Structure 1
C-alpha cells in the first residue's frame, strides 16, 4: 500500500478533520467544489436532479445516502428517515434507478436484526423493477453482510450483493451468493486490510478479479463489473457477454457514454448527503493506486 494512499485513507476516516472542514464556511465550500464532480448533491432534491440528468443520457443509477458506522439509536432514526425519503422518491424517476445501502449505516453494528428490519422496510417501498444494492464494507463486517444479503434473498427481496475481489474469502462468498441467485457487483476492494485477509493492491488483486468475474458468470448469476480499469474491463466484456458495467459518478464519464453507445449497460453510483468530505478523501486515496 503506497504511503500517500494510506495517509489519505486515514484522513478520510478522521472525524476531527471532517469537523474542522465543515466548521469554516470558506474551507467547506472550497472542499465541496473539489468533491462536487463525485457527489450527486448535498440534499435529496439535488441528488434527484443529478439522477434525472444521468437517466436522460441513457445511464442506470444507484442512489445512496452517504454514511456508515451508525451505532447510536437517535442517529439511526435520522438515517432511516433519509433512506425512506430516497426510496419513496425513486417512484417519481422515469428510469432504471436502484437504491444502495451501506449496512452499518442502517444499524448493522447495533445488531443484524435491527439492520434487517430497516432494510426490509426499504425493500417494501421500492418501485417495481428496482433493486436494493447492498454495499461492501470492511472485512470485519463482511460475514454479517453476506448473511444479511442471503436472508433477504431467501425472503424474496430483490437484492444485489457487492463482492470485493481483494478479500481472500470472496470465492466462497461468490459460491454462496450465486447459488441463491443473487446478482453480484464485483469491485476490487478499497479498504485497508491485513495481508492475512486481503490480496495486495495491484496485479495480484487484478488476477483474482478476473477469476471471480468468470466464476460469477459461469454460475449464471448476474454480473456487474465495477471497475474503471479500461484494460481489465475490456478484456472481460469481450469474453463475458451480457455483463453490466458499474462506474462512479464523476470518474471517466466519457467511458460511460462510449460503453452505452456500444450497447453495454452502465450503472452510475450516485451518492448524496452531508458526509461528502469523507467520500472525497477516499476517492483521492484510491486514485493513488499501489
Structure 2
C-alpha cells in the first residue's frame, strides 16, 4: 500500500493543495532530498564532501518522451559537471530513452565526456521493461571510449544480472550493486534469502573479475559479510539513511559515497523512502 501511495500523482496533488501541506511534507522530505534547487543540492554535496564522503548528484526526473526536454536535462548536467567535483547520477528515461534510444546514447556521451579525473556518470536501474535499453545505451557509450566515465546499476534480484555484470566489467564500466527496488513479474528472485544469496554471488563474481564496483545496500549484515570476505569495497548509501554508518565505514578506511538527489519532483521519492523505512 505504501509503495502504491509513493507513485500516486493524485495523492501528491492533494497533499500539496492543502494549506501548508507542501511545506510540511518538505520538512519531512528534506532528510532524504538535498534540495528543491541546484544551489541547495550543491551545498549539501559540499557538506558531504567535507565529511570525507564522495557524492553522486541526481536531478529528479523520468519517463520523458520529449527530446527537447531531454536536451534541457543534458544542459543541467553539463552545468553540474562544472560546479561540483562529485559524480553524477541519472535515469535514462529522463533522457527519453524509451522513444529515442540513439539520441539518449548521444546525450549520455555528452555528459560523460564532460567528466574527468576519475569521475563517473552513474546510470540508474529502472524496471525490467527498460533493462535491455539501459544496457545497450551504456555499452554503446562505453564503446565510444567513455567506459571509464560511466557507472551502471545492477540489481541482484534479476536472474540476468550475472551476464550483465560480465558485459559492463568487460567495457570498463563501474558497477553499483543493489538488491533491486522493483517488484518484477518474471525473471527475478524472490525478496529475502534468494536475493541476498544472489547478491553475495554477484559480489564474488565482481571481485573475481577485478571489476570497479561498489556495494549499494543498507542491509548491514549483507554489507559486512561482503566486506569481511572481499576487503575494503566502496560503499554507497542514500542521503539521510543511517549517516552514522557511513561515518563508521569512513573511519575504517572504506571509501564511501552518498546519493544526493534534488529537484522539484521530490514528493514521490520521499514517499518511497518512507515506505522502505516501514519495511515495505
TM-score where L is the length of structure 2: 0.94
Residues in 2 aligned to 1:126 and 1:200: alpha-carbon distance in whole angstroms: 37
| 1:153-164 to 2 correspondences below 5 Å | 153-157=142-146, 158-164=149-155
CA-CA distance at 1:25 after TM superposition:
5.3
Corresponding residue of 2:58? 64
Equivalent residues of 1:136, 1:164 under 8 A apart: yes
CA distance in structure 2 between the partners assigned to 1:38 and 1:199 by the alignment: 28
> 1:222 touches 1:243 (CA, 8 Å); kept in 2?
no
Alpha-carbon offset, residue 30 of structure 1:
1.0
1:18 aligns with 2:12: yes
Would you say 1:39 and 2:33 are equivalent positions?
Answer: yes
Range 81-90 or range 264-273, more displaced: 81-90
1:246 aligns with 2:240: no
- Determine which of 95, 98, 105 is the counterpart of 2:94: 105
* SS state at 1:225 partner: strand
Task: Give distance in 2, aligned partners of 1:182 and 1:124.
Answer: 14
Per-residue deviation, 1:127? 4.0
Pairs within 5 Å for 1:87-126: 87-90=81-84, 93=85, 97-126=86-115
Task: Tell me the CA shift for residue 55 of structure 1.
Answer: 0.4
Shift of 1:124: 2.3
Cα displacement string for residues 126-151 of structure 1 (whole angstroms, at most 9, x for unaligned residues): 24331111111111101111111111
Matched residue, 1:176: 167
TM-score by length of 1: 0.91
Equivalent in 103, 107, 120 of residue 131 of structure 1: 120
Alignment-derived partner of residue 193 in structure 2: 203
The number of residues matched between the two structures is: 278
How far apart are residue 23 of structure 1 and its match? 3.3
Residues of 2 paired with 1:239 and 1:277: CA distance? Answer: 38
Q: Per-residue CA shift, 1:157-190, capped at 9, x if unaligned?
A: 1111110001111111112112222221100000
Choose from 25, 29, 43 the match for 1:49: 43
The one of 75, 80, 95 equivalent to 1:81 is 75
Q: Is 1:71–1:109's contact at 8 Å kept on the other side of the alignment? A: yes
Within 5 A, what are the aligned runs for 1:231-242? 231-242=221-232
